[in-house]
Amino acid sequence: MSLPFGFGIAIAVLTVMISIGGIALGVGYASNNKNLKDFGRDELYQSAINGIIIGAFIPLFINFGIIPSLISSITLSSASAQCPAYLSSNAAICFAYGYLSGGGYTFGGLSHPSILSQSTALIIGFLGLNTVLGVISSTTISIGVISFSPASILIPIINQLQFFIKTLTAVSISSLVQSSVLSAIAVSSLSVLLPIGIILRTFFPTRKLGGFMIGSVLGLYIILPLSYLLNAAIINSYSINTSNSTIVAITNASAALNNDISAATASKNQENTLLSGITGALQGIVAAFSGLMNQLFDYISYFIMAAFILPAFSIALTAVSVKEFSALFGSEINFNMFDLV
């Protein structure tokens, strides 16, 4: 079994500190120096603890060890997802990646698109509708001696569309940021951060910092990705179909109306009939959008919960776990807002 480069350094540093502690203890007894004896004894004691930590972490984490296997058994019992190869060592991170921004995921036997895919599809539909309605609202319709602008009718809809677009853009960015953070955790936790934490814990001045880094790795590598399983269970309890087919239908109707307006503006015949048709089409678009509003607000609530509220819960749960793990390795930290948890 080959060890990552960082673990090799940690073992080398541990060997050096054992030697230093042994030399200090020996010189202390030889010179009857209490301070040297205490220093050497404490360093040997801490080195022994670090040796136990390294000896325990190697089978727990390295090469699909006990912890990754346990995470896989918990995750794959109800969920799965496709992810890049570098994320596959942690099944929970792989699932969270598919859930947030990947190619989709399976939960409870049902396939679902990722949060990013759903929000992007709706953004594209909203942008198309917003563009067409913007063109119509900026047009002055002139039929014979009659002219009017549909801006007063369409501007409230356009404002609402822009609100939805901004919200969904924030959702998309949040999903990408979360999946990027999880990818960084998967790549760096065991090969970089954990060995650095063990090395820092070896030295007296950085011992508490090392304990905090070890606790952080455990919280970020285990608790944070597993919390996305709970998030998926909560979010999938809501029956939301985020198809943008209704939005596309309204966009197509709006585009057809825009063509009619372009043709009607140059026409001098049948003014009342054309004007009545255009007015009726505008009213139909407004009515269709009004009927879609409740569904759209359900979409927004769904995405806000998926991209912001539930991840905030994941962060809080991870912070509490990091605090407890850090205390286990000799580092006491406070997060203030989590002290009451």
**DSSP assignment string, 287-324:** HHHHHHHHHHHHHHHHHHIIIIIHHHHHHHHHHHHHHH
Q: Tens digits of per-residue pLDDT, 9-67? A: 778 888 888 888 888 889 888 888 888 888 888 888 888 888 888 888 878 877 667 88
338 pLDDT band, cuts 50/70/90, is very low
Could you tell me the residue ranges of all domains in the chain? 1-63, 65-328
Packing angle, helices 271-304 and 245-265, rounded to 10: 150
Range of weakest confidence among 8-17, 163-172, 261-270, 275-284: 261-270
Q: Are 183 and 108 in contact (CB under 8 A)?
A: no
Report the distance separating Cα 213 and Cα 331, nearest Å: 9
- Answer positive or negative: Cα dihedral of 230, 67, 321, 319: negative
pLDDT, position 340: 39
Range of weakest confidence among 39-43, 76-80, 190-194, 279-283: 279-283
Burial of 99 (C-beta count, 10 Å sphere; 0-12/13-18/19+): buried
Report the distance separating Cα 148 and Cα 275, nearest Å: 10
Burial of 268 (C-beta count, 10 Å sphere; 0-12/13-18/19+): exposed
Q: Are strands 105-107 and 141-143 parallel, antiparallel or unpaired?
A: unpaired
Report the distance separating Cα 122 and Cα 251, nearest Å: 12
